[in-house]
A and B are shown apart, each in its own frame.
Chain A
Amino acid sequence: DVKVTQSSRYLVKRTGEKVFLECVQDMDHENMFWYRQDPGLGLRLIYFSYDVKMKEKGDIPEGYSVSREKKERFSLILESASTNQTSMYLCASAGASSYEQYFGPGTRLTVT
């Protein structure tokens, strides 16, 4: 069974803290994605990566960075968390020419 796992389901951080969200996939997929999902705004792409050490900005990259040192792992970093980054964060992966993205369960981050 294919699997995308995220390091935490729920996370509470303080404003100004550095936050790491980890995502691991076991399908040997080339492509990995970070999204955030907010009520009324739908799903929005933050960053994606199509290979190890490669990254591309999505629609809303400001305030975020990413790291992909290994094929199976894609990390989202909030350098200095702010309250407007309170959201549901979803990681996904997909094969090189796959039409289907596989999502993790999500991390609900609250920044106070």
Chain B
Amino acid sequence: DAKTTQPNSMESNEEEPVHLPCNHSTISGTDYIHWYRQLPSQGPEYVIHGLTSNVNNRMASLAIAEDRKSSTLILHRATLRDAAVYYCILRVLVGSGGGADGLTFGKGTHLIIQP
């Protein structure tokens, strides 16, 4: 399986943008890039996903490098409630059994937000 590499931790100030990097140099053409996050004492929650183009939703933006070997999750204005562990994972195309595939999380990036 293609692997991802993320920094162990990052720190940012409240109300500033946060850029969380992820390297996935062995990504294949059928892999989507997904991000989940896990707040303290809670289950993981979906953040965003993309294939080639940059993506935006109400939670975040995802910037994908042209060669797809790396991506960046962008939180435009971090709040204290964004303090969590962020996981970048690769998944096969939806419709290729994607719904029934289990997720595999590594260690992720522990994001610390300073007030």
Contacts and interface: CB of A to CB of B under 8 A. Distances in A.
Given A92-B43, A106-B43, A99 B32 contact: yes
B101 to A, nearest CB: 8
Interface of A: 4, 30-31, 33, 35, 37, 40, 42-45, 48, 50, 56, 58-59, 90, 92, 94-106
Contacts of B45: 102-103
Contact of B44 (A50, A56, A59, A103): A103
Residue of A33, A43, A44 ringed by the most chain B CB atoms within 10 A: A43
Given A42-B105, A45-B104, A94-B99, A99 B42 contact: no
Given A43-B104, A99-B32, A99-B49, A30 B99 contact: yes
Chain B interface size band reads 20 to 34
B29 interface: no
Nearest to B42: A105
Interface of B is mostly: loop
A45 B103 contact: yes
A35 B99 contact: no
B34 interface: yes
B105 A98 contact: no
Nearest to B47: A100
Among all A-B residue pairs, the 3 with the closest Cβ atoms: A103-B43, A45-B102, A43-B105
B95 interface: yes
B96 to A, nearest CB: 10
B102 A95 contact: no
A103 B34 CA distance: 15
B106 interface: yes
Nearest to A98: B99
